[in-house]
Chains A and B, each alone.
Chain A
Amino acid sequence: MRAEAAEPSVAALLDEVRSLVVAARDRGQSPSYLMLAPAAYDTVAACRATDRRIGAPMTVLGLEIVRSDDSAAPPRVF
């Protein structure tokens, strides 16, 4: 998914993020955060109302999401 897409696909985002996580693990890394462009972040946040209400972190595939200032930034794990 390109972060600047008008209607970000969560299904595509998950597939891409999973690949990023696997690649990171193959490099011996263990990422904890996922940085998303504003549109993607907002789409995910809309799915996480319950988590926000109960004070749980908003996550995708176990990674806590972080909002990027760059509207064109691709997803990045770190």
Chain B
Amino acid sequence: MLSREENELLTRVCGDAPMGQVLRRYWLPALLSDEVAEPDGAPVPVRLLGEDLVAFRDTKGRVGLVDERCPHRLASLVIGRNEDCGLTCIYHGWKFDVTGACVDMPTEPEGFGFKNRIRIAAYPTREAGGMVWTYMGPPESEPPFPAFGWTALPREQRGIIKIGIRANYLQTVEGAIDSAHSWFLHRGSSRDWEKRFAVSQDQSPKLEAEDTAYGFRYAAIRKPLENPDTTKYVRVTLFALPSTAFIPPPLNADLPAHTQIFVPLDDDHTMLFDVFHSQNGTPVDEAELRRGLHAQPGVDLDADWFRHARRENRWQQDRAAMRDGSWTGIKGFQNQDIAAQESMGRVVDRSREHLGTSDVAVIRMRRRMLETVRRLRAGEPLVGQDAPIAYERLASEQRLIPIDQPWQTVGAHAGEYAAT
């Protein structure tokens, strides 16, 4: 439950909305590197925080992320020409480079200098982990890049599932950190399910959260089937502001771990970058992942990465499959999450919800996000930006530990990054 005022504060990301300003102070994934694979290839439309942008890889291989609209007559640069280190509007030939500078304006007299007095919005980009990241905040506030460990893995050891979600980002983030739902929504869907089920079948875990410098982490502590009097089964999930969730990796180390990053396109739409990364060097077959998760572009997803399954077709839920053993009747792990999140409405009114004590992570995340808004307004460093953080060391984890051992010892960064 939130008051309507708090709900508005947390969910609105466009224009001058405070949360939008917070999100601009962090590096965010904008698109996949593969979408702009070739120099001078086709530009790609990108929507971020309510802004319509265009991404392109120039002749030198640099990725530009600039305003979609040519400032002359506001024609779209998505249909522009990408050549000779710039993007040219096909309407009147105005040309812009990756910095947003106007480098050609053939319709105006050469000596007039108009082109030197005009530019388009351009945001810095950085490629890591198969994605193009951007920072949309004030240059003087640019934080260090969050070089998560998986960004350094070779290409064949990671795969990214990109899916658009027709819902506000907060609903999607809350889904990622809500440990309790996996026992229901994803029943039988996870390849690690049987292994987890063999360790514990405790459906009402003890949940604890702890603030950290990068956000918070929380533990789901369950009674194991074996030795419940001397051991406990701990799953630790990490949340790094503004919107990254480190899901506990599968117990089967041959299966990839995954990290979910949710990027608000606007108040009503979110892009999920679901990064699967090898735990032990085992290759990750991205194409097979997309097939298995029913998230293939052109098959399950439209040209803008949104699922064909949507409210209007009841998310293609298969009632016959439900009678035959499927819990949801929806194929694909992410698709089950998305159906639940979209079914809540574009921006859910949280004043109406009835959280339980098992919703500890959702409760804590909202409080941390509101704290970050407060810090922004007070001119203080935001969460994750007041001390150096070795993002490459952050990792979630699940394992059995002695019953007297603190859950905080689980996770690669145990003991580090106390909250400030």
Residues of A within 8 A of B (CB): 7, 9-12, 14-15, 18, 21-22, 43-44, 46-47, 50, 59-62
Contact = CB atoms under 8 A, between A and B. Distances in A.
Q: Is the contact region of chain A dominated by helix, strand, or loop, or is it mixed?
A: helix
Given A15-B363, A18-B363, A47-B351, A10 B357 contact: no
A11 B357 contact: no
Q: Is the contact region of chain B dominated by helix, strand, or loop, or is it mixed?
A: helix
Interface stretch (B1-9, B152-160, B389-397): B1-9
B121 interface: no
Given A43-B3, A47-B1, A11 B367 contact: yes
A15 B364 contact: yes
B2 A10 contact: yes
Nearest to A7: B5
Contact of A62 (B3, B6, B356, B370): B356
B6 A61 contact: no
Contact of B1 (A14, A21, A22): A14
Given A10-B2, A47-B352, A59-B354, 19 more contacts: A7-B5, A10-B6, A11-B2, A11-B6, A11-B363, A11-B366, A11-B367, A14-B1, A15-B364, A18-B363, A21-B357, A22-B357, A47-B3, A47-B4, A47-B351, A50-B352, A60-B1, A62-B354, A62-B356
Contacts of B2: 10-11, 47
B360 interface: yes
Given A47-B352, A61-B356, A14 B3 contact: no
9 contacts: A9-B370, A10-B3, A10-B6, A11-B366, A12-B367, A12-B370, A14-B1, A15-B367, A21-B357
